[in-house]
Amino acid sequence: MSTGGETGGETGGKARGQTGGQTGSQTGGATAAKRVALMISGSGSNMVALAESMAGDHPARPVLVLSNVPDAGGLAKAEALGIATAVVDHRAFKGDRPGFEAALTAALEAAAPDVICLAGFMRILTRRFTGRWAGRVLNIHPSLLPKYPGLHTHARALDAGDAEAGCSVHEVTEDLDGGPVLGQARVPVLPGDTPDSLAARVLVEEHKLYPAVLRRFVAGDRTPVLLG
């Protein structure tokens, strides 16, 4: 989901790398690879799954990992993968969401992405951002949307007594976790599950679902991917 806490203050907008994934070539009449930017706030396990999927004959390559958290664990993973990274620290923009979103957009524009994957990016994005990048932004959310938009999805599924849970990849619009669903994966809820045990089971599926949806999406195919 693209929601998260709101805390205060420091620097922002620091680019931290020049390398990037290969961007493809047009030699020999081949089509240039689509450029994919990945936005993270945390450990970046979905980012790694996506980045590692973009290899070989995949029609896309990762060109930027952008974090709003300067010490997000995913940044070091991106650097290890040879992907350019940038940080726009939301705390430098306390009370100035337009400024924060403008800085995100500037960092993205420098990378010229065809597609932007939110991968554990934990800030709300308004129409200023979603409108600028309309039709190009995907997000993974740990519930079977339209159930449980927002936070604490696994606890909510357990509280409701649901027999199954899962995750969804959707297009990002101004409606929080409300854009068109492009894929879902299902897992059973097991006796004795806690929010953490359920989250771990769902995360395994996230790492399969998101790359599958991205591959279809960059090929221009919006047919939903259904797993599980």
Residue 20 or 120: the one with the smaller Cβ distance to ligand GRF is 120
Residue (of 156, 154, 155, 124) closest to 139 by Cα position = 124
Which of the residues 169 through 228 are near ligand GRF (CB under 6 A)?
203, 206
Rounded-to-integer distance, Cα 4 and Cα 124, Å: 7
Please state the closest distance from residue 25 (CB atom) to ligand GRF, in A: 30
Q: Residue with CB nearest ligand GRF?
A: 120
Q: Binding to ligand GRF by residue 53, rule CB under 6 A?
A: no
Q: Does 149 bind ligand GRF (CB under 6 A)?
A: no
- Measured from the CB atom, the residue of 110 and 227 that comes closer to ligand GRF is 227
* Closest distance to ligand GRF from the beta carbon of 20 (Å): 20
Q: Under DSSP, is residue 117 helix (H, G, I), strand (E, B) or coil?
A: strand
Query: Which residue's CB is nearer to ligand GRF, number 98 or number 209?
Result: 209
Site size toward ligand GRF (CB under 6 A) is 15
Q: Is 207 a catalytic residue?
A: no
Residue 45 within binding range of ligand GRF, rule CB under 6 A: yes
Q: Which stretch binds ligand GRF (CB under 6 A): 22-30, 57-65, 135-143, 175-183?
A: 135-143
Q: What is the DSSP string of 21-79?
A: ------GGGPPPPEEEEEEESS--HHHHHHHHHS-TT-SEEEEEEEESSTT-HHHHHHH
Based on the shown chain and the rule CB under 6 A, indicate whether residue 142 belongs to the binding site for ligand GRF: yes
Based on the shown chain and the rule CB under 6 A, indicate whether residue 120 belongs to the binding site for ligand GRF.
yes
Range list of H helices, the chain: 45-53, 73-80, 97-111, 127-132, 153-159, 195-218
Is 147 exposed, middle or buried (CB count within 10 Å of its CB: 0-12, 13-18, 19+)?
middle
Considering only residues 43, 114, 155, 158, which one is a binding residue for ligand GRF as defined by CB under 6 A? 43
Active-site entry in 90, 141, 154, 170? 141
Buried-state track 53-74, b at ≥16 Cβ within 10 A, e below 16: bbeeebbbbbbbbbbbbbebeb
Cβ atoms < 10 Å from Cβ of 140: 27
- List contacts with ligand GRF (CB under 6 A): 1, 40, 42-46, 119-120, 140-142, 167, 203, 206
Catalytic sites, residue numbers: 141
